[in-house]
A = this chain, B = another copy of it.
Amino acid sequence: MRWAGWGDPAKSRELPDQVLKLLHDLLGVRPPPAPAATLESVELPPIALPEPLLRALAGVVGEEHVLTSRADRVRHTRGKSTPDLLRMRAGDGSDAPDAVVLAGSHEEVAALLRLCTTERIAVVPFGGGTSVVGGLQASRTGFAGVIALDLGRLDRLRSVDTESMVAEFEPGVRAPDAERLLAAHGLTLGHVPQSFEYATLGGFAAARSSGQASAGYGRFDDMVVGLTVATPSGDLDLGRAPKSAAGPDLRQLLLGSEGVFGVITSLRLRVRRAPAERLYERWRFASFAAGSAALRMIAQEGPLPAVLRLSDENETTFGLAKPETIDPGGEAGCLAIVGYEGRPATGREGVGASAAGPGISLADRRDAVAGVLERMGGEPVGEVSGEEWERGRFSAPYLRDALLAAGATVETLETAGFWADLPRLYDAVRLTLLGELGSPLVMCHISHVYETGASLYFTVVTAQEEDPVAQWERAKAAVSAAIVEAGGTITHHHGVGRDHLDAYAAELGPVGVAILQAVKSRLDPAGILNPGVLIPRTG
């Protein structure tokens, strides 16, 4: 992973001249005045943790698992939001941890939490490092120091139960490794968010991730049937059955807890049989409203495909994945991607080989979905090749690096709401961004649908001002307030972190905030876990 960007440097992209010209002509983008910092030139704070505490940490995990090199500290500094990258490109490493500590077992995690409680060391649980909401940026105030608790050594598939269709994983398994390990059993999670290449299973759970095939495979929180969590006050082991009436579902209190209540050390996940066949198609609708109505019909009356995604007019026109095809004057309508994964047979004989949801065949499912889409005004416009889909699905973060280097700020934000509220929410976000950023390019898609509502995912491109971080933070604060005001949730799948704290407090209300604070005080009385993240301060 690039330390001040996204992904494998070998996959980095250059922007074609045509796109650079378009950025300049449409948005006034011009190259930034200074070159990006190098790893060696990043300004790091001195290591605050005194030697005896570093030795005490090494006493738990072994000396070779306490890392304090420049590269290790930089690579565990903040996450991968655009402001995070802009700060790193500017050489600002002020949020670097004092040390990176790699735990090798549940027991070591628990022992570290006890030690850090006693010694008042802040702990940032660290999986793939892909937070885009400041979820890895702990507060130092009142602490002897800050460590990143890297879970990368907890990387095993512990068991597979093909009768219950449950697999037990350690939290540090990266998504591609999880799929590789499951594929050996003919199984899959089917969880493919844009962070797929780097993100870990523990991170997916802690941040309530949702993937590109959520229509068929569900959100990550739907997949979690059990969790083991180490907290400073002891262990939690949750999930004796898929569902229960034994009180509140405490799994749902740990899912989305972003490391502030404890560290997930084991996950029991619902798995599916790996699909034998995949098919992705494009559909065109006259407008975002018409396409939304079709997606709603599918979500409410099904059957659901594995992937269901609709771009608005702007995203259809400027489709970031293929910048060379941009035609700003065109009338493309709105494109949807509809993907099917399952068994190929059309008969009933092989119902037992399905993957995504109910076991009707891919062909039957495709027929049913296509019938609804056509009835709702959709027009099929051809298959997407598997290669094209693979290439497109993870490309946006790579493209972002090229855009940042060219002097454009590109960032994403997302929300969700009930169907009847979505038009108002869409307008509120768009109008606020247009008002705050001059004339940015604002694009949107729906990528996750439910019977009662859907998510809206926005991509914004604008020319960098002199202080692009401050520029974005201003716009972000305004748009977050607009989302709260319009009745949406502040995040559908990115999480709260630090960036959404104010809006989250408004969304929860004071009694909701009080609940979080009460749980926090009880489980982590010294407040060492990810301080400053998720839990709004009151007063």
Knowing A246-B504, A352-B297, A511-B233, the reply to whether A452 touches B270 (Cβ < 8 A) is yes
- Bitwise, A268-304 to B at CB < 8 A (1) or not (0) is 0010110000000000000000000000110011111
- Picked from B225, B304, B452, B507, the residue with its CB within 8 Å of the CB of A165 is B452
User: Are the C-beta atoms of A301 and B249 separated by less than 8 Å?
Assistant: no
Whether A26 sits at the interface, judged by CB under 8 Å, is no
Residues of B within 8 A of A243 (CB): 210, 219, 221, 416, 448, 450, 492
Within 8 A of B (CB), among A118-169: 161, 163-166
Chain B: CB-nearest residue to A244? B489
CA distance A321 to B382 in the complex (A): 55
Chain B: CB-nearest residue to A454? B242
Chain B: CB-nearest residue to A296? B163
CA distance A492 to B142 in the complex (A): 45
A209 to chain B, nearest CB (A): 7
- Picked from B207, B242, B419, B455, the residue with its CB within 8 Å of the CB of A418 is B242
- Bitwise, A356-384 to B at CB < 8 A (1) or not (0) is 01111000100110011001000000000
User: Are the C-beta atoms of A348 and B360 separated by less than 8 Å?
Assistant: no
CA distance A418 to B240 in the complex (A): 7
- What are 15 contact pairs spanning A and B, CB under 8 A? A163-B419, A165-B300, A240-B416, A241-B488, A243-B448, A246-B491, A246-B500, A247-B504, A250-B515, A273-B301, A301-B358, A357-B358, A364-B364, A514-B523, A518-B518
- Picked from B231, B248, B416, B452, the residue with its CB within 8 Å of the CB of A253 is B248
Interface residue tally of chain A, by bracket?
A: 35 or more
Knowing A297-B352, A371-B349, the reply to whether A491 touches B244 (Cβ < 8 A) is yes
User: Are the C-beta atoms of A245 and B493 separated by less than 8 Å?
Assistant: yes
Residues of B within 8 A of A494 (CB): 245
User: Are the C-beta atoms of A511 and B358 separated by less than 8 Å?
Assistant: no
Residues of B within 8 A of A236 (CB): 509, 511-512
- Picked from B364, B372, B516, the residue with its CB within 8 Å of the CB of A352 is B372
CA distance A418 to B353 in the complex (A): 21
- Picked from B219, B240, B492, the residue with its CB within 8 Å of the CB of A488 is B240
CA distance A416 to B249 in the complex (A): 14
- Bitwise, A287-325 to B at CB < 8 A (1) or not (0) is 000000000110011111000000000000000000000
CA distance A453 to B244 in the complex (A): 11
Within 8 A of B (CB), among A194-214: 207-210
User: Are the C-beta atoms of B416 and A358 separated by less than 8 Å?
Assistant: no
Whether A336 sits at the interface, judged by CB under 8 Å, is no
User: Are the C-beta atoms of A450 and B242 separated by less than 8 Å?
Assistant: yes
Knowing A164-B453, A240-B488, A360-B368, the reply to whether A246 touches B209 (Cβ < 8 A) is no
Within 8 A of B (CB), among A493-539: 493-496, 500, 504, 507-512, 514-519, 521-523, 534
State which of A44-52, A88-96, A254-262, A436-444 sits at the interface with chain B.
A254-262
A362 to chain B, nearest CB (A): 13
User: Are the C-beta atoms of A452 and B303 separated by less than 8 Å?
Assistant: no
Beyond contacts A163-B296, A235-B509, A236-B509: 18 other A-B pairs, Cβ-Cβ < 8 A, are A166-B418, A208-B245, A237-B509, A241-B455, A242-B454, A245-B493, A246-B504, A247-B256, A247-B516, A247-B534, A249-B253, A297-B352, A301-B353, A302-B357, A302-B360, A357-B358, A359-B368, A518-B522
A248 to chain B, nearest CB (A): 4
Whether A190 sits at the interface, judged by CB under 8 Å, is no
User: Are the C-beta atoms of B348 and A246 separated by less than 8 Å?
Assistant: no
Interface core residue of A273, A296, A492 (most chain B CB under 10 Å): A492
User: Are the C-beta atoms of B519 and A245 separated by less than 8 Å?
Assistant: no
User: Are the C-beta atoms of B208 and A244 separated by less than 8 Å?
Assistant: yes
Residues of B within 8 A of A517 (CB): 522
- Picked from B258, B301, B348, B519, the residue with its CB within 8 Å of the CB of A515 is B519
- Bitwise, A423-464 to B at CB < 8 A (1) or not (0) is 000000000000000000000000010111111000000000
Residues of B within 8 A of A500 (CB): 246
A14 to chain B, nearest CB (A): 33
User: Are the C-beta atoms of B240 and A487 separated by less than 8 Å?
Assistant: yes
Residues of B within 8 A of A418 (CB): 161, 164, 166, 225, 241-242
Chain B: CB-nearest residue to A347? B371
CA distance A509 to B246 in the complex (A): 13
User: Are the C-beta atoms of B512 and A238 separated by less than 8 Å?
Assistant: yes
A246 to chain B, nearest CB (A): 5
